[in-house]
Structure 1
């Protein structure tokens, strides 16, 4: 456990390191299953902060939900995402992150909402590995869940916004092919 005096915003020791790897992509594109496979293979995985926030807000009857108060949701999720980043201390193997701050900014822009200046600044300061793995839309495996109440077409629009957002933030996107999960994991590991 890290002592509070050792907690450093922006995690400068590892910012921009190839050891902090983002996996993002289309909702329902198999990202969570893929991260589960990477975890099974011994890689450390940080869960999707937005999904955690949705579950907590639903449990509490809160309104910090993307369909209720998207700006509150973004604030809560940004805080959790930065905490996960700040606490990352990779050893020999990379840590995989289920989404990043770029996802939040992309979502707000997709909704044509003003991105708070602090969030734009956070995207520049909280830097992950230069290459980001992205799972494309995949209709055959798309499933709606309580935390994901959108159509496949909406998920595709979200995907397009993510591509624009990550490229604008200076990341190189590596599309993960639509293969069975073991082969998808192999694809990522081979490119680390």
Structure 2
């Protein structure tokens, strides 16, 4: 988790009006979530980084080529556990921002057609987010790398699965427009 320093705070005074808000960035792989999260510069927002890349890198270093596909349940349980830990971490800021949420795990397992680990679905019912910002697939910025192995067409399917999952658990998905980082950040802050 990172706590960001004050930036342009007077414009966003409305952040003080809320009790703690749990806000999640979710969406297709390579749609700009992490780039935008890294641009957040606000004293009233605590940011929780995406944990998937670290887990994937560690498993690839041990010889696993595609950890999620080779052992989806073990991989998903590790992600879910860390995201649940982040969900309950106490911060002093009124806004907690997560790069992917616990419900992402369910969406990915559903898209794969894998069985759901015991208790995961009930945890998702009990622990929701106040705001869900969904980043749609964006081919112009889409890049694969050694951790992000999905192809663009898979990204589109995962996007649909994420929208369906968050909606099924009673959360409204706010679609983030495909515009510059600055305009996306303004959109997010105006919609908190």
Q: Deviations over 1:29-82 (max 9, x none)?
A: 1111011111x3443210112222112222344689212111110011111111
- 2:104 paired with 1:98: no
Instruction: Give TM-score scaled by structure 1 length.
Output: 0.84
Asked if structure 1 preserves the Cα contact closer than 8 Å seen for 2:24 and 2:132, the reply is: yes
By how many angstroms is 1:166 displaced? 0.6
Asked if structure 2 preserves the Cα contact closer than 8 Å seen for 1:64 and 1:70, the reply is: no
What's the Cα RMSD here?
1.8
Residue-pair matches, total: 173
Within 1, Cα distance between the matches of 2:54 and 2:122?
23
- Within 5 A, what are the aligned runs for 1:135-146? 135-146=135-146
- 2:116 paired with 1:152: no
Aligned to 1:180: 180
Asked if structure 2 preserves the Cα contact closer than 8 Å seen for 1:103 and 1:162, the reply is: yes
Instruction: Give TM-score scaled by structure 2 length.
Output: 0.84
Within 2, Cα distance between the matches of 1:83 and 1:71?
18
Asked if structure 1 preserves the Cα contact closer than 8 Å seen for 2:72 and 2:114, the reply is: no
Within 1, Cα distance between the matches of 2:38 and 2:91?
20
Aligned to 1:3: none
Within 2, Cα distance between the matches of 1:89 and 1:126?
17
Unmatched 5+ stretches in structure 1: 1-16
